[in-house]
Amino acid sequence: MSSIDKIDKWGLNYIRKTRFYLKISAILPIYTIIIGIINLGFLIYLYTISTESHKVIPIHGIIVFICFISILLISLLQFLFLRKWNLKIKVYNKMIKIEKNDNSNVLDENINKNIKMDEMSLTDIFYEVINHMEKIRKLFIILNIFSAIYIFYNSLMFVRLFIFIKKAFILIFQTIRYLNLSVAIVLIIYLIYMWHHYIKWNKKLKKLKNYEIMISQELNL
Amino acid sequence: MVKKNYRTSNMIIQNILEGILRENKKNPVIQKGIKKSHLIVYCKLKTITAEKYLIKMTNAGYIRLFEETWGERIIKIYDITKLGRERYEWFVKINAEVG
Protein backbone atom coordinates (compact mmCIF):
# COMPACT_ATOMS: atom_id res chain seq x y z
CA MET A 1 0.00 0.00 0.00
CA SER A 2 1.45 3.38 -1.06
CA SER A 3 1.82 6.26 1.35
CA ILE A 4 -1.08 8.24 -0.12
CA ASP A 5 -3.32 5.14 -0.09
CA LYS A 6 -2.58 4.74 3.60
CA ILE A 7 -3.34 8.43 4.18
CA ASP A 8 -6.60 8.17 2.21
CA LYS A 9 -7.58 5.14 4.29
CA TRP A 10 -6.97 7.00 7.56
CA GLY A 11 -8.81 10.04 6.23
CA LEU A 12 -11.80 8.01 5.11
CA ASN A 13 -11.96 6.14 8.44
CA TYR A 14 -12.08 9.47 10.23
CA ILE A 15 -14.75 10.75 7.85
CA ARG A 16 -16.86 7.63 8.54
CA LYS A 17 -16.67 8.35 12.29
CA THR A 18 -17.66 11.96 11.72
CA ARG A 19 -20.66 10.90 9.63
CA PHE A 20 -22.04 9.05 12.65
CA TYR A 21 -21.51 12.19 14.69
CA LEU A 22 -23.50 14.09 12.05
CA LYS A 23 -26.46 11.73 12.46
CA ILE A 24 -26.40 12.11 16.25
CA SER A 25 -26.16 15.91 15.90
CA ALA A 26 -29.35 15.89 13.84
CA ILE A 27 -31.43 14.24 16.57
CA LEU A 28 -31.57 17.12 19.07
CA PRO A 29 -32.59 19.94 16.72
CA ILE A 30 -35.27 17.81 15.05
CA TYR A 31 -36.58 16.55 18.38
CA THR A 32 -36.62 19.99 20.03
CA ILE A 33 -38.45 21.55 17.07
CA ILE A 34 -41.24 18.95 17.36
CA ILE A 35 -41.53 19.23 21.13
CA GLY A 36 -41.26 23.03 20.95
CA ILE A 37 -44.29 23.27 18.67
CA ILE A 38 -46.29 20.90 20.91
CA ASN A 39 -45.25 22.90 23.99
CA LEU A 40 -46.20 26.21 22.53
CA GLY A 41 -49.66 24.94 21.65
CA PHE A 42 -50.02 23.41 25.09
CA LEU A 43 -48.96 26.58 26.95
CA ILE A 44 -51.30 28.80 24.91
CA TYR A 45 -54.16 26.37 25.56
CA LEU A 46 -53.39 26.17 29.27
CA TYR A 47 -53.13 29.93 29.50
CA THR A 48 -56.60 30.35 28.04
CA ILE A 49 -58.36 27.70 30.12
CA SER A 50 -56.80 28.28 33.55
CA THR A 51 -56.49 31.61 35.35
CA GLU A 52 -54.19 30.02 37.98
CA SER A 53 -51.65 29.20 35.32
CA HIS A 54 -51.27 32.92 34.50
CA LYS A 55 -48.94 33.30 37.51
CA VAL A 56 -46.67 30.50 36.37
CA ILE A 57 -46.56 30.57 32.59
CA PRO A 58 -45.26 34.07 31.67
CA ILE A 59 -42.00 34.15 33.71
CA HIS A 60 -41.02 30.50 33.47
CA GLY A 61 -42.35 30.21 29.97
CA ILE A 62 -40.21 33.10 28.69
CA ILE A 63 -37.03 31.72 30.34
CA VAL A 64 -37.66 28.23 29.00
CA PHE A 65 -38.48 29.64 25.56
CA ILE A 66 -35.28 31.75 25.36
CA CYS A 67 -33.13 28.79 26.47
CA PHE A 68 -34.98 26.50 24.12
CA ILE A 69 -34.40 28.78 21.12
CA SER A 70 -30.70 29.21 22.02
CA ILE A 71 -30.14 25.46 22.34
CA LEU A 72 -32.00 24.90 19.10
CA LEU A 73 -29.92 27.52 17.25
CA ILE A 74 -26.58 26.19 18.50
CA SER A 75 -27.43 22.56 17.77
CA LEU A 76 -28.85 23.55 14.39
CA LEU A 77 -25.68 25.49 13.56
CA GLN A 78 -23.61 22.45 14.47
CA PHE A 79 -25.78 20.21 12.33
CA LEU A 80 -25.76 22.59 9.34
CA PHE A 81 -21.97 22.87 9.42
CA LEU A 82 -21.56 19.10 9.52
CA ARG A 83 -24.06 18.73 6.69
CA LYS A 84 -22.11 21.22 4.55
CA TRP A 85 -18.87 19.46 5.44
CA ASN A 86 -20.40 16.12 4.52
CA LEU A 87 -21.23 17.40 1.04
CA LYS A 88 -17.59 18.40 0.53
CA ILE A 89 -16.52 14.94 1.65
CA LYS A 90 -18.76 13.42 -1.01
CA VAL A 91 -16.86 15.42 -3.63
CA TYR A 92 -13.56 14.29 -2.09
CA ASN A 93 -14.69 10.65 -2.18
CA LYS A 94 -15.60 10.99 -5.85
CA MET A 95 -12.19 12.53 -6.48
CA ILE A 96 -10.46 9.54 -4.91
CA LYS A 97 -12.59 7.15 -6.96
CA ILE A 98 -11.63 9.01 -10.12
CA GLU A 99 -7.95 8.83 -9.16
CA LYS A 100 -8.36 5.04 -8.82
CA ASN A 101 -10.10 4.93 -12.20
CA ASP A 102 -7.26 6.98 -13.66
CA ASN A 103 -4.83 4.34 -12.52
CA SER A 104 -6.84 1.46 -13.94
CA ASN A 105 -7.47 3.35 -17.22
CA VAL A 106 -11.23 3.29 -16.70
CA LEU A 107 -12.02 6.95 -17.05
CA ASP A 108 -15.32 8.71 -17.48
CA GLU A 109 -14.31 12.07 -18.90
CA ASN A 110 -17.56 13.81 -18.01
CA ILE A 111 -17.33 12.89 -14.32
CA ASN A 112 -13.65 13.77 -14.28
CA LYS A 113 -14.37 17.24 -15.71
CA ASN A 114 -17.03 17.96 -13.07
CA ILE A 115 -14.85 16.92 -10.16
CA LYS A 116 -11.80 18.86 -11.33
CA MET A 117 -13.86 22.03 -10.94
CA ASP A 118 -14.37 21.43 -7.22
CA GLU A 119 -11.03 19.77 -6.51
CA MET A 120 -10.14 19.80 -2.82
CA SER A 121 -7.52 18.26 -0.64
CA LEU A 122 -7.69 16.16 2.50
CA THR A 123 -5.76 18.98 4.20
CA ASP A 124 -8.55 21.47 3.38
CA ILE A 125 -11.17 19.06 4.74
CA PHE A 126 -9.23 18.55 7.97
CA TYR A 127 -8.54 22.23 8.50
CA GLU A 128 -12.17 23.12 7.89
CA VAL A 129 -13.29 20.82 10.68
CA ILE A 130 -10.48 22.06 12.95
CA ASN A 131 -11.58 25.68 12.48
CA HIS A 132 -15.14 24.62 13.23
CA MET A 133 -14.01 22.80 16.38
CA GLU A 134 -12.41 25.98 17.68
CA LYS A 135 -15.58 28.00 17.13
CA ILE A 136 -17.97 25.37 18.46
CA ARG A 137 -15.86 24.95 21.63
CA LYS A 138 -16.81 28.48 22.65
CA LEU A 139 -20.45 27.99 21.74
CA PHE A 140 -20.47 24.73 23.66
CA ILE A 141 -19.89 26.59 26.94
CA ILE A 142 -22.94 28.78 26.20
CA LEU A 143 -24.91 25.67 25.26
CA ASN A 144 -24.13 24.13 28.66
CA ILE A 145 -25.30 27.22 30.54
CA PHE A 146 -28.56 27.44 28.57
CA SER A 147 -29.13 23.71 28.94
CA ALA A 148 -28.71 23.87 32.74
CA ILE A 149 -31.21 26.75 32.98
CA TYR A 150 -33.55 25.00 30.56
CA ILE A 151 -33.53 21.69 32.42
CA PHE A 152 -34.04 23.42 35.79
CA TYR A 153 -36.88 25.73 34.74
CA ASN A 154 -38.52 23.16 32.52
CA SER A 155 -38.70 20.70 35.41
CA LEU A 156 -39.85 23.42 37.82
CA MET A 157 -42.55 24.67 35.49
CA PHE A 158 -43.99 21.27 34.81
CA VAL A 159 -43.93 20.25 38.44
CA ARG A 160 -45.93 23.38 39.24
CA LEU A 161 -48.25 22.88 36.31
CA PHE A 162 -48.84 19.37 37.56
CA ILE A 163 -51.29 20.94 40.05
CA PHE A 164 -53.49 22.19 37.21
CA ILE A 165 -53.04 19.01 35.26
CA LYS A 166 -54.17 16.97 38.25
CA LYS A 167 -57.30 19.05 38.49
CA ALA A 168 -58.04 18.70 34.84
CA PHE A 169 -56.67 15.15 34.64
CA ILE A 170 -56.66 15.12 30.89
CA LEU A 171 -54.56 12.48 29.16
CA ILE A 172 -53.07 14.96 26.71
CA PHE A 173 -51.56 17.04 29.56
CA GLN A 174 -49.90 13.96 31.01
CA THR A 175 -48.50 13.05 27.61
CA ILE A 176 -47.05 16.55 27.18
CA ARG A 177 -45.45 16.39 30.62
CA TYR A 178 -43.67 13.18 29.69
CA LEU A 179 -42.67 14.57 26.30
CA ASN A 180 -41.06 17.52 28.06
CA LEU A 181 -39.34 15.21 30.47
CA SER A 182 -38.00 13.34 27.47
CA VAL A 183 -36.54 16.60 26.05
CA ALA A 184 -34.58 17.07 29.26
CA ILE A 185 -33.34 13.46 29.04
CA VAL A 186 -32.40 13.79 25.34
CA LEU A 187 -30.64 17.06 26.14
CA ILE A 188 -28.63 15.44 28.93
CA ILE A 189 -27.63 12.54 26.64
CA TYR A 190 -26.72 15.03 23.91
CA LEU A 191 -24.58 17.03 26.35
CA ILE A 192 -22.79 13.90 27.57
CA TYR A 193 -22.09 12.98 23.95
CA MET A 194 -20.90 16.51 23.21
CA TRP A 195 -18.66 16.53 26.30
CA HIS A 196 -17.12 13.28 25.12
CA HIS A 197 -16.31 14.98 21.81
CA TYR A 198 -15.23 18.18 23.52
CA ILE A 199 -12.55 16.30 25.49
CA LYS A 200 -11.36 14.49 22.36
CA TRP A 201 -11.27 17.76 20.39
CA ASN A 202 -9.22 19.41 23.11
CA LYS A 203 -6.69 16.57 22.90
CA LYS A 204 -6.58 16.85 19.13
CA LEU A 205 -6.18 20.62 19.09
CA LYS A 206 -3.40 20.39 21.68
CA LYS A 207 -1.55 17.77 19.59
CA LEU A 208 -2.08 19.81 16.45
CA LYS A 209 -0.80 22.98 18.09
CA ASN A 210 2.40 21.18 19.13
CA TYR A 211 2.74 19.76 15.63
CA GLU A 212 2.30 23.20 14.06
CA ILE A 213 4.90 24.72 16.37
CA MET A 214 7.32 21.91 15.51
CA ILE A 215 6.83 22.44 11.75
CA SER A 216 7.26 26.19 12.13
CA GLN A 217 10.52 25.66 14.02
CA GLU A 218 11.81 23.15 11.47
CA LEU A 219 11.00 25.49 8.60
CA ASN A 220 12.20 28.55 10.46
CA LEU A 221 8.93 30.42 9.77
CA MET B 1 -1.99 36.44 15.95
CA VAL B 2 0.94 34.06 16.24
CA LYS B 3 -1.41 31.08 16.35
CA LYS B 4 -3.21 32.23 13.19
CA ASN B 5 0.12 32.52 11.35
CA TYR B 6 1.04 28.98 12.34
CA ARG B 7 -2.33 27.78 11.07
CA THR B 8 -2.12 29.49 7.67
CA SER B 9 1.48 28.42 7.11
CA ASN B 10 0.74 24.84 8.08
CA MET B 11 -2.25 24.64 5.78
CA ILE B 12 -0.01 25.69 2.88
CA ILE B 13 2.76 23.28 3.87
CA GLN B 14 0.40 20.31 4.23
CA ASN B 15 -1.25 21.15 0.92
CA ILE B 16 2.13 21.22 -0.84
CA LEU B 17 3.08 17.83 0.65
CA GLU B 18 -0.31 16.35 -0.26
CA GLY B 19 -0.07 17.78 -3.79
CA ILE B 20 3.25 16.00 -4.41
CA LEU B 21 2.01 12.73 -2.90
CA ARG B 22 -1.15 12.79 -5.05
CA GLU B 23 0.80 13.50 -8.21
CA ASN B 24 3.17 10.62 -7.44
CA LYS B 25 0.18 8.34 -6.98
CA LYS B 26 -1.24 9.17 -10.40
CA ASN B 27 1.61 7.47 -12.18
CA PRO B 28 3.90 5.79 -9.69
CA VAL B 29 6.04 4.01 -12.31
CA ILE B 30 6.91 6.83 -14.72
CA GLN B 31 6.39 9.92 -12.64
CA LYS B 32 8.45 11.13 -9.73
CA GLY B 33 7.45 14.51 -8.38
CA ILE B 34 5.34 17.33 -9.70
CA LYS B 35 6.06 20.31 -11.93
CA LYS B 36 6.39 23.53 -9.96
CA SER B 37 3.63 25.26 -11.97
CA HIS B 38 1.23 22.32 -11.41
CA LEU B 39 1.96 22.34 -7.69
CA ILE B 40 1.23 26.06 -7.43
CA VAL B 41 -2.11 25.55 -9.20
CA TYR B 42 -2.97 22.55 -6.99
CA CYS B 43 -2.31 24.57 -3.81
CA LYS B 44 -4.20 27.60 -5.19
CA LEU B 45 -1.33 29.91 -4.22
CA LYS B 46 0.22 33.04 -5.63
CA THR B 47 3.61 32.29 -7.22
CA ILE B 48 5.47 34.56 -4.81
CA THR B 49 3.88 32.90 -1.74
CA ALA B 50 4.42 29.41 -3.12
CA GLU B 51 8.07 30.11 -3.87
CA LYS B 52 8.66 31.34 -0.33
CA TYR B 53 7.31 28.10 1.12
CA LEU B 54 8.97 25.86 -1.47
CA ILE B 55 12.39 27.32 -0.62
CA LYS B 56 11.81 26.90 3.11
CA MET B 57 10.55 23.34 2.68
CA THR B 58 13.50 22.42 0.47
CA ASN B 59 15.93 23.86 3.02
CA ALA B 60 14.20 21.91 5.82
CA GLY B 61 14.50 18.69 3.80
CA TYR B 62 10.75 18.09 3.33
CA ILE B 63 10.95 18.26 -0.44
CA ARG B 64 13.71 18.22 -3.03
CA LEU B 65 14.06 20.12 -6.28
CA PHE B 66 15.45 18.74 -9.50
CA GLU B 67 15.47 20.04 -13.03
CA GLU B 68 14.58 18.27 -16.26
CA THR B 69 15.12 19.48 -19.78
CA TRP B 70 12.13 19.51 -22.08
CA GLY B 71 13.29 20.65 -25.49
CA GLU B 72 14.94 23.96 -24.91
CA ARG B 73 13.13 24.52 -21.67
CA ILE B 74 14.21 23.56 -18.18
CA ILE B 75 11.39 22.34 -15.98
CA LYS B 76 11.56 22.52 -12.21
CA ILE B 77 10.19 19.44 -10.49
CA TYR B 78 9.54 18.95 -6.80
CA ASP B 79 9.50 15.57 -5.09
CA ILE B 80 8.76 14.64 -1.49
CA THR B 81 11.50 13.31 0.78
CA LYS B 82 11.21 10.65 3.48
CA LEU B 83 11.02 13.39 6.12
CA GLY B 84 8.26 15.24 4.25
CA ARG B 85 6.26 12.04 3.86
CA GLU B 86 6.64 11.32 7.57
CA ARG B 87 5.49 14.82 8.49
CA TYR B 88 2.38 14.58 6.31
CA GLU B 89 1.53 11.12 7.62
CA TRP B 90 1.89 12.51 11.12
CA PHE B 91 -0.54 15.34 10.33
CA VAL B 92 -3.17 12.95 8.95
CA LYS B 93 -2.67 10.60 11.88
CA ILE B 94 -3.33 13.37 14.42
CA ASN B 95 -6.54 14.26 12.59
CA ALA B 96 -7.71 10.73 11.96
CA GLU B 97 -6.94 9.14 15.31
CA VAL B 98 -8.51 11.51 17.79
CA GLY B 99 -12.17 12.56 17.49
pLDDT over 70 for what percent of chain A?
A: 66
Q: What angle do CA B80, B84, B89 make, to 5 degrees?
A: 115
Do the chains contact at B91 and A123, CB–CB below 8 Å?
yes
Do the chains contact at A219 and B13, CB–CB below 8 Å?
yes
Do the chains contact at A127 and B19, CB–CB below 8 Å?
no
pLDDT: which is higher, B25 or A123: A123
Is-contact B21 B87, C-beta < 8 A? no
Is the Cβ of B69 closer than 8 Å to some Cβ of chain A? Answer: no
Angle at which helices B2-26 and A122-168 cross, to 10°: 120
Residue A80 pLDDT: 81
CA atoms within 13 A on the CB side of A209: 11
Residue in B99, B52, B41 with CA at minimum distance from that of residue A119: B41
Is the Cβ of B18 closer than 8 Å to some Cβ of chain A? Answer: yes
Mean pLDDT for chain B?
84
Residue A204 has pLDDT above 80, yes or no: yes
Its pTM stands at 0.71
CB atoms under 10 Å from CB of B48, counted, come to 7
Do the chains contact at A212 and B10, CB–CB below 8 Å?
yes
* Interval B23-60: pLDDT, tens: 887 766 666 788 888 889 888 888 899 999 999 999 99
pLDDT: which is higher, A144 or A155: A144
Q: What is the C-alpha to C-alpha distance for residues B92 and A15, in angstroms, rounded to an integer?
A: 12
ipTM of the complex: 0.85
- Closest residue of A to B10, CA-based? A212
* d(CA B29, nearest CA chain A) in Å: 11
